[in-house]
Chains A and B, each alone.
Chain A
């Protein structure tokens, strides 16, 4: 699978190039062609079928939709944010979208390809409850160090509350995210060491009836 090569972006080189362009009045050809070469092609259908829990038909539908939206085959962060913001017109979903992007972008190369996309969806929609909880933990763990601190949780919480926008009932208070984080940590943090590890997280979630019941949400999304 091809990747986009990173070009040298030193400012000096750019200045020299623009001066040259000014004198000769020519357009630079390299910019255009390089942009076109950034594309990705997914692995074969069979491989994806093995790796994910989607059927062949489902994969086909997913890919067609994906390819239509991103003809180049990959999504970068800007696109991702833009797409996600269309679902939440009232608030600002960019922060949460960034977190999501980082969660989907498993190899951290700055772009989400179809495999990443489908892998993530497979876990969420077709995985076991433990898988889903794992995925959620991965989402919250911003620096991917295996535990969730209060600051990380606060960031996540704030981003979620941002999506609500200004006009809510009852009106959003400043302290609401923080209070929510407190209650979360009270529930999840067994040993009260200020961080939540994966085991604490999964254990506490499995004990929570609400969460378990809500997991059925994802059974019929695709």
Chain B
């Protein structure tokens, strides 16, 4: 219901007195009224700023937070007020809505923040008053566009990280679309650009008349006829390159139908077809006229430059988006041309030797005059003709000047959008790197916690590393959660280094050195299952048993042992930051070298952590996100159990 209806309800009910005498049946009794406490003042405390209002005011909109019983959740009995931990500046607008019935949009606040506040208080954005609605919608649309661009840029995924398993096709396509990704692509890009330029210049030069060396022919010939072979060779070379490029693109395109229909591919086809048609058309006289026309199409090769120039693309896009304005311009010009041509024709009809022989002939005059060209090949001679001619030129200026600013502003908007997109793409890389760093920080903290025996049930105070003990409550609970997950899935978390090595070991079947790999694929492509919980029990027993046992190799050439260094404490986790100065002194931290991944073979060895290196305090501790920590060793005592834990 609309604003303030609640206020008028008593009045409407009172007005029912008019129905009373007419009622043929007894009217129902009034609903039981709750003890009306009369009107009271409520205090709403928003982050320290107190707002006081009548209860009735809030009750006017019963389907919002403040108007319904939902606000009781925020009631603080001690202070007798409703406390909200939100932005007090925004709350002002919300409260004003209750008071005036109109929701206004603050001009200086971020529209996203405003939306969130509205959502919190249960107000729908449609309640924004008419005075502010336009602006609200515009800003929201702009925001949404920007976010959509962000997402698109992410999905376009032209980051340097390409999935390792991409096929030749994918790599080729990526090289075509983003020449900056690899040197070969860049070279190809520049070579094609060069050949486009060469082809266009050859077309142009072909028609220049050049003098023979010994004045053999009295008539000057165009160069194309003087050196036909040279030009033919050049043309052939260019067309070969273009054809090759087109075929390669066709092969690499992820969706060939879509590629065939795209504008750029059409331009490519139009650029090279005339050559082939010319090859197959016999050189007789009647067809050569058509053949000459075909040569005109060769000039379309210049459009191939739009792949190389972003500005050209923007221009094309602008023209496309301003199609309606251009259409209007054309239409109004046509109208004006017809009108003025008719007028001029009839004005000049009487004159002898006039150029205005017919109305279509007068079109030329009108166009030349309206665009203020004024060639002077057709001029009116009568007075009436001159008057109308001047009106024609004045109106021409007006008609052409009107749609132009629209086109210009469109172009400017699109151009700036493009610039913004480029800037954002650059920032995106930085942002992604930062996010990756933060994420790995959390994982590092957990892995460090595990490594330091945090998972031990019986961790006595001294044995546990200081860094383990210094964890915050949040971290404790978080680690507990991760631990539960590990237990649930019978997999363990590890770092990408370890995982990649394991993966490498599987594929190569031999010892692999440390290599970086992609951890994100780890979970997905972990093809080797781990056995479940029995393994863990064994592991714990073994670990407790001895910590210095060497790894019994047995038939384990496939085994890959990582000499785990004492990895540097990840600085991202706050607790480890605190623990850092202590770490260097603390030699109680167990630094075990764990087996990265154990690939078992029919006779599984009993693997125990290998301590081949003494614990050394983590040196440096730079913000390196590559964790040298290896996962916990697993003594798999079951056949063909392979454990690849990955994150």
Residues of A whose CB lies within 8 Å of any CB of B are 57-58, 60-61, 64-66, 68-69, 83-84, 86-87, 96, 99-100, 103, 117, 120-121, 124-125, 132-133, 135-136, 139-140, 156-157, 160, 180, 183-184, 188, 201, 205, 210-211, 213-222
Alpha-carbon gap, A216 to B29, bound state (A): 8
Residues of A with C-beta under 8 A to B2: 86
Alpha-carbon gap, A214 to B21, bound state (A): 9
Contact of B15 among A100, A188, A205, A215 (CB under 8 A): A100
| Chain-A contact segment, one of B3-11, B65-73, B139-147, B514-522 | B3-11
4 additional A-B pairs beyond A132-B20, A160-B18, beta carbons within 8 Å, are: A68-B99, A86-B8, A87-B5, A210-B25
Interface centre among B11, B14, B18 (most CB of A within 10 A): B11
CB distance from B6 to the nearest CB of A (A): 8
Alpha-carbon gap, A205 to B13, bound state (A): 20
Also in contact, A61 and B26, with CB within 8 A (given A68-B4, A132-B17, A217-B16): no
Contact of A57 among B7, B10, B16, B38 (CB under 8 A): B38
Also in contact, A217 and B8, with CB within 8 A (given A86-B2, A124-B17): no
Contact call A135/B9, Cβ cutoff below 8 A: no
Contact of B27 among A96, A157, A217 (CB under 8 A): A217
Also in contact, A99 and B18, with CB within 8 A (given A64-B54, A86-B1): yes
Alpha-carbon gap, A211 to B99, bound state (A): 39
- 14 CB contacts below 8 A, A to B, read A58-B38, A65-B7, A65-B8, A84-B15, A86-B5, A87-B8, A103-B18, A124-B15, A124-B17, A157-B22, A160-B19, A205-B21, A217-B29, A218-B13
Contact of B23 among A66, A68, A121, A210 (CB under 8 A): A210
Alpha-carbon gap, A211 to B27, bound state (A): 8
Contact call B99/A210, Cβ cutoff below 8 A: no
Contact call B22/A215, Cβ cutoff below 8 A: no
Also in contact, A222 and B18, with CB within 8 A (given A68-B99, A210-B23, A217-B27): no
Alpha-carbon gap, A201 to B4, bound state (A): 36
Contact call A221/B10, Cβ cutoff below 8 A: yes
Alpha-carbon gap, A210 to B9, bound state (A): 24
Is B33 in contact with chain A by the CB < 8 A criterion?
A: yes
Is B30 in contact with chain A by the CB < 8 A criterion?
A: yes
Is B432 in contact with chain A by the CB < 8 A criterion?
A: no
Contact call A61/B39, Cβ cutoff below 8 A: yes
CB distance from B573 to the nearest CB of A (A): 55
Residues of B with C-beta under 8 A to A120: 14
Also in contact, A217 and B30, with CB within 8 A (given A69-B8, A121-B14): yes
CB distance from A61 to the nearest CB of B (A): 5
Residues of A with C-beta under 8 A to B57: 68
CB distance from A222 to the nearest CB of B (A): 5
Is B12 in contact with chain A by the CB < 8 A criterion?
A: yes
Is B56 in contact with chain A by the CB < 8 A criterion?
A: yes
Alpha-carbon gap, A124 to B27, bound state (A): 16
Residues of B with C-beta under 8 A to A217: 13, 16, 20, 27, 29-30
Residues of A with C-beta under 8 A to B18: 96, 99-100, 103, 136, 139-140, 156, 160
Residues of A with C-beta under 8 A to B13: 217-218, 221
Interface centre among A69, A132, A156, A221 (most CB of B within 10 A): A221
Alpha-carbon gap, A139 to B21, bound state (A): 11
Contact of B14 among A57, A69, A125 (CB under 8 A): A125
Query: In this complex, what residue of A is CB-closest to B22?
Result: A184
Is B79 in contact with chain A by the CB < 8 A criterion?
A: no
Contact of B21 among A57, A121, A136, A218 (CB under 8 A): A136
Total A-B pairs, Cβ < 8 A: 110
Query: Which of the four size classes fits the interface of chain B?
Result: 35 or more
Contact call B14/A180, Cβ cutoff below 8 A: no
Contact of A211 among B10, B21, B30, B38 (CB under 8 A): B21
CB distance from B114 to the nearest CB of A (A): 24
Contact call A201/B21, Cβ cutoff below 8 A: yes
Is B24 in contact with chain A by the CB < 8 A criterion?
A: yes
Contact call A61/B56, Cβ cutoff below 8 A: yes
Interface centre among A61, A214, A220 (most CB of B within 10 A): A214
Interface residues as binary, B31-71 with A (CB distance below 8 Å gives 1, 0 otherwise)? 00100001100000000000000101100000000000000
Contact call A66/B7, Cβ cutoff below 8 A: yes
Also in contact, A121 and B17, with CB within 8 A (given A57-B38, A61-B38): no
Also in contact, A183 and B7, with CB within 8 A (given A100-B18, A120-B14): no
Query: In this complex, what residue of A is CB-closest to B2?
Result: A86
Contact call A83/B39, Cβ cutoff below 8 A: no
Contact call B24/A222, Cβ cutoff below 8 A: no
Alpha-carbon gap, A201 to B24, bound state (A): 15
Interface centre among A133, A213, A218 (most CB of B within 10 A): A218
Also in contact, A121 and B38, with CB within 8 A (given A100-B18, A217-B16, A219-B30): no
Contact call A117/B11, Cβ cutoff below 8 A: yes
Contact call B30/A220, Cβ cutoff below 8 A: yes
Alpha-carbon gap, A156 to B29, bound state (A): 24
CB distance from A141 to the nearest CB of B (A): 12
Contact of A68 among B7, B11, B14, B21 (CB under 8 A): B7
Contact call B20/A136, Cβ cutoff below 8 A: yes
Contact call B4/A69, Cβ cutoff below 8 A: yes
Alpha-carbon gap, A96 to B30, bound state (A): 22
Residues of B with C-beta under 8 A to A83: 5, 8
Residues of B with C-beta under 8 A to A219: 30
Alpha-carbon gap, A210 to B20, bound state (A): 9
CB distance from B27 to the nearest CB of A (A): 4
Residues of B with C-beta under 8 A to A58: 38
Contact call B17/A218, Cβ cutoff below 8 A: yes
Alpha-carbon gap, A83 to B12, bound state (A): 9
The 5 A-B residue pairs with the shortest CB-CB distance in the complex, in nearest-first order? A65-B7, A214-B27, A210-B26, A124-B14, A220-B33
CB distance from A136 to the nearest CB of B (A): 5
CB distance from B188 to the nearest CB of A (A): 64
Alpha-carbon gap, A121 to B25, bound state (A): 24
Contact call A222/B10, Cβ cutoff below 8 A: yes
Contact call A87/B22, Cβ cutoff below 8 A: no
Residues of A with C-beta under 8 A to B3: 69
CB distance from B529 to the nearest CB of A (A): 64
Alpha-carbon gap, A129 to B57, bound state (A): 33
CB distance from A7 to the nearest CB of B (A): 27
Alpha-carbon gap, A99 to B18, bound state (A): 10
Contact call B19/A211, Cβ cutoff below 8 A: no
Query: In this complex, what residue of B is CB-closest to A57?
Result: B38
Alpha-carbon gap, A214 to B23, bound state (A): 9
Residues of B with C-beta under 8 A to A214: 20, 23, 26-27
Contact call A221/B30, Cβ cutoff below 8 A: yes
Alpha-carbon gap, A135 to B9, bound state (A): 19
